[in-house]
Amino acid sequence: MKLVLASTSPRRRDLLGQLGVTPDRIATPDIDEDPLPGELPRVYALRLAEEKARAVSRDADEIVLAGDTTIAVGRRILNKPEDDADHRAMLRLLSGRRHHCLSAVCVIDRTGTARTRLADTIVTFKRLSEAEIQAYIASGEGAGKAGGYAIQGRAAGLIRYLGGSHSGVVGLPLFETRALLVAAGCPLG
């Protein structure tokens, strides 16, 4: 049996390595990641994970794994910042308050059955000064990241509380991922 990782994220590859798993193939899913009108963050994250998994080709001896990380403040979904102004607005919104990092995983087994799981992690940033926000944006670290931050880097020093899956905030909740891979018959290292 072979594993296809439907993601080009080096973080997801590294996290899989912590489970002793190396993907046999990496595929880039091409999907529309815009939320549907009125779509709630949990539903959105699970939908994207499954759509990403279904968007890549799969041979009969392959299983596919895909994930999505969504940052939510209430019902509001914070995607990747479009520019510095958007990034600044996101960090101001997250400053001093808690939010949810929803990390969804989907595994499609050899029979074509899709199974999904969701890790909901509560994250609280310290109250950020304008200088801290500007310095973080200038670092470039949060560009291209959901919610505009990367917990595995400088943002770790700005987070006052984390309750849930640290690996989920990085990009792949390992407990949920392991359970789905075992259910799909994937041998773990």
pLDDT for the residue numbered 1: 84
Q: Is the pLDDT of residue 186 over 90?
A: no
- Encode pLDDT of 87-120 as tens digits: 999 999 999 999 999 999 999 999 999 999 999 9
Q: Report the SS3 class of residue 168.
A: helix
Average pLDDT over residues 7-28: 93
Q: Is the pLDDT of residue 45 over 80?
A: yes
Nearest-angstrom CA–CA distance, 161 and 157 = 11
pLDDT for the residue numbered 188: 81
Average pLDDT over residues 133-159: 96
> 158: which residues sit within 8 A by CB, 6+ positions away?
125, 126, 128, 132, 136, 149
Cβ 110 vs Cβ 1: under 8 Å: yes
Q: Token match 């020093």: residue?
A: 157
One-character DSSP codes across 86-154? HHHHHHHHHTTSEEEEEEEEEEE-TTS-EEEEEEEEEEEEPPPPHHHHHHHHHHTTTTTSGGG--TTTG
Give the class (CATH, top level) of 2-183.
alpha beta
Tokens in use for 17?
A: 């390595």
Cβ 125 vs Cβ 162: under 8 Å: no
pTM: 0.94
Nearest-angstrom CA–CA distance, 75 and 65 = 27
User: Binning pLDDT at 50, 70 and 90, where does residue 40 land?
Assistant: very high
Q: What are the boundaries of each domain within the chain?
A: 2-183
Q: How many CA atoms lie within 13 A of 121 on its CB side?
A: 29
pLDDT for the residue numbered 8: 87
Q: Which residues are catalytic?
A: 68
